[in-house]
Every structure is written in C-alpha cells, then in structure tokens.
Amino acid sequence: MSVSTSRDAHQRYAALLEQIAADAPLPDTLDALARYVEDELPGAIASVLLLDADGAHLRTAAGPGLPAAYSAAIDGVAIGPSVGSCGTAAYERAPVMVEDIETDPRWDAYRGLARAHGLRACWSTPILSRRRLGPHPVLGTFAVYYRAPRAPDADARGVLARAEFVACIAIEADRAVAALREREAEFRTFVDHAGDAFFVQAGGTGTVVDVNLQACESLGYTRDELIGAAPTLFDVAAHGAMMAELKRRLETGGAVTFDSTHTRKDGSTFPVEVRIGTFTSRGRRFGLALVRDVTARRALEEQLQQAQKMEAIGRLAGGVAHDFNNLLTVINGYAEGLLADLPAGPARDDVAVIRDAGNRAAALTAQLLAFSRRTIIAPRPVDLTATVARLARMFERVLGERITLVTDLAAGLPTVMADGGQLEQVLLNLVVNARDAMPAGGTLTIATRERTSTLLGRQVCLAVEDTGEGMPEDVRARVFEPFFTTKPQGQGSGLGLATVYGIVKQAGGYVQVESRVGHGSRFTVSLPASDAVEAAPPHPGVTQVRGAEVVLLVEDEEGVRRLIARGLEQHGYQVLAAADGAAALRLEAAHPAPIHLLITDVLMPGMTGRELADAVKARRPAIKVLFVSGYTDDEVLRHGVVIGTDAFFHKPFTPLGLLTKVREVLDPA
C-alpha cells in the first residue's frame, strides 16, 4: 500500500468517526463503513447484519455491494451453529472465516443461495458490545464476501477488526442517542403534562429558551411564539429593577419565589406564583421558572377569609346572645304583663312601644344567630313549592302596587329537610331585598325547580329574580357579608342576605347570585332533596296554661327568675325558686312532697343544668325537666342538652310562651 493510499485510508477512517460523532443516521454510517472496507480490501463485498430485538435473528443493515436479492434472502436469518458464516459467528461470538463456501459444512443450508449469486468466500466477525447497553453482548456481524475462494491474511484481519470496532461504536452511539431521545421524549411528556408552566430562560437576559405545553396553554401562545421572547411579553413587571433584584437574589444561591401577574395573548390576566432556580448546562447558565396559576387558590383563600370572618362575627353574636336574650326576656316579659294590666291610654301606648322595640331586638338577635349558623333549629320535611304558594299573598302586600309578583312553581317536588320558620325567613329576606332593588317598580319572579348534578345529587332549587338595578361585581362579591349594605344609613342592617346565607348553609345547601348592572339580580337557593313526606299541620286548639303542679325553678339571672316565678304563680303553680344548682338541691331535699317539673337554665355558676337535672332525677325519677337558655346551640349541646330529645325553650320568651311550653312538658299527650 502506498503512502498516499495510506493517508487516504486514514482520512476516510477519520471521516467515519466524525460521521458517528455528528449523530449521522446509522444506515448511512454503516454503508460508508462497508465502502471503506471494500476500498481497503479490493474485490471484497462488505455486509453488516444487526441482531434483532428478539436476540435470535439477524437483520440486513448495510451491504451496498451485495445483490439486493441475496440481502433480502438472508434478512431475518436465525443465528445458530451451522448458519453460514454470519449466523455461526453471532452464535459462537467468534470470527468465522470460510475460505470456500462450496466445501464448508456450515454453509450446507445456504450453499445454493450463495452459488446463485456467485459468492464463494465469506469472512464474518461478530460485532460485540463494549458498553453492554442492551441485554445481549452481540450487536450483529460484519462480513466480507469474495467471488472466489480466498483465505484472510493479517492485513485483512486488521481491516475487519477496525471495521468491527467502528461498527460497534456507531451502533452503540446510535443506541445511546436513541435512548437519550427516548428519555427526553418521556421527560418532555412528563413536563408537558405537568399542571404548572415551565420556562427555561437564558441566564442574565431571561430570554425564553424552552417552555412546556402548560405554559403555552395558560398564556395562549404557541411554543414558537414564546421561544426567543423576553419575559415582558407575558409579565409586564419583568424588567429593570425587578430583573436586577431577581438576578441578585439568584446569585446568592437557592431558589426565589414571588407572586406576579401574567398576561395572556388575548390581554386577560391571572395571578401566578413563580419559583425560579438556576442550573448550568454545557458551560451556560440558565434559569428554570416554575409558574403556577393561583386563581383557584386565591378564590379558596378568599372563601376561607370570608368563612373566618363569618365565624368570628358568629362567635361574637353567640357571646352576646346569652346576656342580651336574658335582658330581652325581662323587658318583653314585663311589657306583656303590663299590657295585660293597664287600661287603654298613654301609659299603655308607651309600654306597647317598649314591647315592640323588644320584639325587634329579639328578631335582630335571631338574625345574628341565623347568619352565624348558631341558632337552634328543628329540621323537618318541608314542601318548598307549598311554602311559596302559602306566603305569596303576604309577599304581594310587602311588595306594594308598583311591583308585579310572578310565581313559576313546579308541582310534585321532593321535600327538603329544614326549619320551616327559617325557610320562610329566607323567602321573606330575598323578597324584601328584591323589592328594595326596584324602587321604580318592576317584576319579581319566584320559581321552584328540581335538578340533579353528578356532584351534589338531587337538589330542590328556589330562584328569586328581580328586574331591578343589578349590582356591580364588587358589590356582588360582598353581598352575603354581615352588616354590608348599600342602603342609606338607618334603612338596612346588612343582615338580611347574611341571614339567608347562614340558614341555607346550616340546612346543607348553598346560595348563588347572578347580577349585572341594569339587568337585575337572581338569587338561587339549592337544598338537598329528601324522600320524607311533609307532615300535616296540627289542628289549632285552645291552649291551657294554668296548672297546680309544684315547679322547681333554677335561674341565675334574678330578673328572669322573678319574671318566670311571677308568671307561674299567677297561673296556679307552686314555685320553689333558686339562683344556682346547690341552692336548688337544698330546696329539693327539704321538700317532702312531689315536685312535678324542674325548670333550669343550662349554664349556671358551679353546676350546669344537665348536672342538676341528673342529680334531681336520681332521687325523683318521675320529675319532668325543661331546659332554658339564651346561649346558642353549640354551647347548649356542649353542656349536655340534646336538642329534639330534651325539652328545651330558648330565650328570649314571654310568660305566655313559657306557660304554654310548661303544659306541653307536663302533658305530653
């Protein structure tokens, strides 16, 4: 071989390695390798076969000088101990140098095929893996054919060894690149299916280098539109001082998290949380920004804040309710007594004003407890359509002549489990709210419907819609807040819709409001449907309030105790009055005759009403017990009173109301 020829061979060999380094397609590289060997070994016809994925067959990969029919015939040949030169070499993992195909027994099954294409010699060497990237150490075979019998010399063996080495490098490089691309594809799929947007940005400038699918979907841009763009395209704050501060914080190490606002391609905006860290790749520094759309989270946070606000006001309402209800019991009770005793005249009119003010105060307390969901309720099956129909005439009087009432009530609706009186309050509050939204008149529509949702199941819906002024978004967002009102001072407490919200929530339902300025408002109350049947209303009868029984009365508030004792004694009862549990037990022990009824406050200094009742009933099993309290239901329940099982009467009350309740307890039939 001449010097120039040797130099050319080295150049071609180097070109092969460069082709591999440039990630050229494997078939092109193997074809080039076959031609290189054919140039090095005049008269040779080179061939490359690759082991199939099943590890048992060889597939044609390159053979530019072989007859196409021959290449097709040996494609898929099984490896084995006597399968020509290539099948045997792959099987034995060692070179097989057949000098004459006509006489070599390893070619018995393929001799006719070789003869038909004029092939007489075949030297094959297995291509063995160096990196063991796959499950099999054999990657394939490299072979050269001759058209005449021929034995390999040392130079030929050297060429075959180099060819096998280059083929191994090319195959394993191709497999490594394919594996890398597969992992990249898997990672891209993973990243694209992430719920957060990913941005890879050039260090320093922040220019977008890559994005995931979520980034495109959240911003409304294509991937091509985002790559190469400055971050100001979607974040107007990402410039100047903000970027300088971000760069400074990143250089100190660690990731940086901050809140921002992103702008979509259509101009709409949404709140985001951004977390940026840095990494280095191929000597370059990049930033990786993970961007989370926090619209839903902000909404939940606002709901939580609203719930906490309602809870705080509810606790305040519950805290003042007890003392306020005790005072109202005394005020309203004595006012009722005076009204019964006074003749008509200015003095009686003044007491009536006091009584009416006390009743309004009691109603205000009830609304406070209702919106805070701390009132004591008696749920029962209620027909919502029947309730609206029954109240419709009263609503017409409330609305006045300038507002037309339209009802669209569905028949045959299931009942809902709720406190009937509270549902009436919900209806009245919504109607009054709609009336106030139509000062110039309009139409009020009340509708009932049933609907079913996958999430909530069967629901009975009440819709109250007006044609009034409507609400801007900032007002609509606060409409259920307690004490929030747009009415002039003195014309609204701001508790009407808050009360609706509380009652509906306590009944397991929810309220939706739709409104646009100039297009009226629609409030929809949705309550879980029930299979229970509404009970028929009891027949009214004459209530007997007088009695002759002995009553042990225990009340720590002196004004309330005197009022109850006076009312009972005036109606024939014998009263043993005590200010606390210890005094009551002394009175009970000193009274040898029967005691028919214990009336006790639930929360008192020292001993609770439940503890007192248990102690008294242990000695007098037949005694009846009536609990009274001005506290809210959670306080009452925590102190052992079971609403619906124990007899209970809530303050404030009038003497007549208490006397009626006493007879109910003493005469349960």
Tell me: do 71 and 162 sit in the same domain: yes
| The pLDDT value given to residue 649 | 82
Q: Quote the CA–CA distance of 568 and 575 in Å, as a whole number.
A: 7
Averaged over 342-363, what is the pLDDT?
80
Higher-pLDDT residue of 110, 4 = 110
Report the percentage of the chain scoring pLDDT > 90: 39
Comparing 208-212, 545-549, 560-564, 651-655, the range with the smallest average pLDDT is: 651-655
- List Cα–Cα distances, 498 to 69, 471, 476, in angstroms: 88, 16, 13
For residue 383, pLDDT beyond 80: yes
**Residue that terminates a domain, selected from 498, 530, 562:** 530
* pLDDT computed for residue 486 by the predictor: 58
Residue closest to 575 by CA, chosen among 646, 662, 661, 667: 662
Q: What is the per-residue burial (b if ≥16 Cβ within 10 Å, else e) of 98-118?
A: beebeebebbeebbebbeeee
Tell whether the model's pLDDT for residue 571 goes beyond 80: yes
**Of the residues 128, 146, 181, which one is the last residue of a structural domain?**
181
Residue 517 lies in a domain: yes
Which of 113-117, 335-339, 507-511 is the most confident on average? 113-117
User: Do 281 and 334 sit in the same domain of this protein?
Assistant: no
**Interatomic CA distance for residues 551 and 594, integer angstroms:** 10
CATH number of the domain within which 284 lies: 3.30.450.20
Tell me what the mean pLDDT of segment 467-480 comes to: 83
**Res 540 pLDDT > 50:** no
pLDDT at 1 over 60: no
Determine the residue type at 84: G
> Mean pLDDT, to the nearest integer, of 583-604?
91
Q: Which residue has the tokens 């394993």?
A: 172
In a domain, 369, yes or no: no
More confident residue, 24 or 131: 24
| Buried/exposed code over 17-41 (b: 16+ C-beta within 10 A; e: otherwise) | eebbeeebebeebbbbbbbbbbebb
Find where tokens 């109607």 sit: 431
What CATH number does residue 517 fall under? Answer: 3.30.565.10
Provide the token pair at 164.
């096998």
- Tokens for 300, please give them: 């939940």
Examine residue 364 and state whether it is found in any structural domain, yes or no.
no
**Cα–Cα distance, 11 to 531 (Å, whole number):** 90
Q: What is the 3-state secondary structure (H, E, C) of 631-658?
A: CCHHHHHHCCCCECCEEEEECCCCHHHH
Q: For residue 515, what is the enclosing H or E element?
A: strand 510-515
Q: What confidence score (pLDDT) does residue 490 get? A: 44
User: Could you tell me where the beta strands, DSSP code E, fall in 307-456?
Assistant: 380-382, 403-409, 415-418, 442-453
Q: What CATH number is attached to the domain comprising 646?
A: 3.40.50.2300
Claim to verify: residue 338 and residue 391 sit in the same structural domain: no
Identify the pLDDT of residue 3: 33
- Its pTM stands at 0.43
**pLDDT-derived band at 255, boundaries 50, 70, 90:** confident
> Which amino acid, residue 515?
S
Q: Tell me which residue of 82, 56, 84 sits closest to 70, measured CA to CA.
A: 84
Average pLDDT value for the chain = 84
β-pairing verdict for 550-554 and 597-601: parallel
pLDDT band at 656 (very low <50, low <70, confident <90, very high): confident
Confirm if 44 and 38 have CB atoms less than 8 A apart: yes
Q: Locate tokens 């029947």: which residue?
A: 386
Give pLDDT, residue 206.
Answer: 82
Residue 567 sits in the same domain as residue 648: yes
Give mean pLDDT, residues 485-506. Answer: 68
Residues 496 and 597 in one domain: no
Summarize pLDDT for 401-426 with one digit per residue, the tens: 889 999 999 999 999 998 887 888 88
Residue 309 domain-assigned (yes or no): yes
Please check the confidence at residue 537 and state whether its pLDDT lies above 60.
no
What pLDDT, on a 0 to 100 scale, did the predictor assign at position 110? Answer: 93
Residues 147 and 261 in one domain: no
Residue 336 clears pLDDT 70, i.e. is over it: yes
Greatest mean pLDDT range, 387-396, 612-621, 640-649 = 612-621
Does 328 share its domain with 268?
Answer: no
Is the domain of 165 the same as that of 217? Answer: no
Together in a domain, 284 and 317: no
Task: HSE, CB side, 13 Å, CA atoms: give it for residue 170.
Answer: 31
Amino acid at 194: A
Strands 624-629 and 597-601: parallel
Question: Is cis: bond before 414, omega within 30 of 0?
Answer: no
Residue 128: helix, strand or coil by DSSP?
A: strand
Within-domain flag for 367? no
Provide the token pair at 44: 């040779």
Same-domain pairing of 11 and 155: yes
Checking if the pLDDT of 578 tops 60, the result is: yes
Nearest-Å Rg of the Cα atoms of the chain is 46
Confidence of residue 395 (pLDDT cuts 50, 70, 90): confident
Q: Does residue 251 share a domain with residue 346?
A: no
pLDDT at 495: 66
Cβ within 8 Å of residue 102, ≥6 positions away: 111, 115, 120, 149
From CA 273, how far away is CA 258, in angstroms rounded?
Answer: 6
- In this structure, is residue 545 part of a structural domain? no
For residues 147-156, average pLDDT: 94
- φ/ψ of 646, rounded to 5, equals -80, 145
pLDDT higher than 80, residue 645: no
**Lowest-confidence segment of 220-229, 323-332, 439-448, 600-609 by average pLDDT:** 323-332
Q: Tens of pLDDT along 283-293?
A: 888 888 899 99
Q: Is residue 125 domain-resident?
A: yes
- Give the span between the Cα atoms of 165 and 23, in whole angstroms: 17
What's the domain count of the chain? Answer: 5
CA distance 310 to 365: 15
307 Cβ contact partners less than 8 Å away, ≥ 6 residues apart: none
| CA distances in angstroms from 439 to 79, 432, 478, listed in the order given | 95, 11, 21
CB of 20 closer than 8 Å to CB of 29? yes
How much is the pLDDT for 557? 85
DSSP 568-585: HHHTT-EEEEESSHHHHH
Q: What is the pLDDT of residue 175?
A: 87
Q: Give the CATH number of the domain where residue 12 resides.
A: 3.30.450.40
pLDDT at 551: 94
**What's the whole-number mean pLDDT along residues 43-68?**
93
Of the listed ranges 99-113, 336-350, 403-417, 573-587, the one predicted with least confidence: 336-350
Instruction: Give the phi and the psi of residue 561 in degrees, each rounded to 5.
Output: -60, -45
pLDDT at 640 over 70: no
Is 17 contained in some domain? yes
DSSP string of 271-330, one letter each residue: EEEEEEEEEEETTEEEEEEEEEE-HHHHHHHHHHHHHHHHHHHHHHHHHHHHHHHHHHHH
**What does the pLDDT read at residue 646?**
78
Q: What share of the chain is helix, strand, coil (3-state, %, to 5)?
A: 45, 25, 30
Task: Give me the domain span that covers residue 580.
Answer: 550-666
Q: Are residues 158 and 212 in the same domain?
A: no
pLDDT of amino acid 356: 79
Ranges 182-196, 343-357, 590-604: which has the least confidence: 182-196
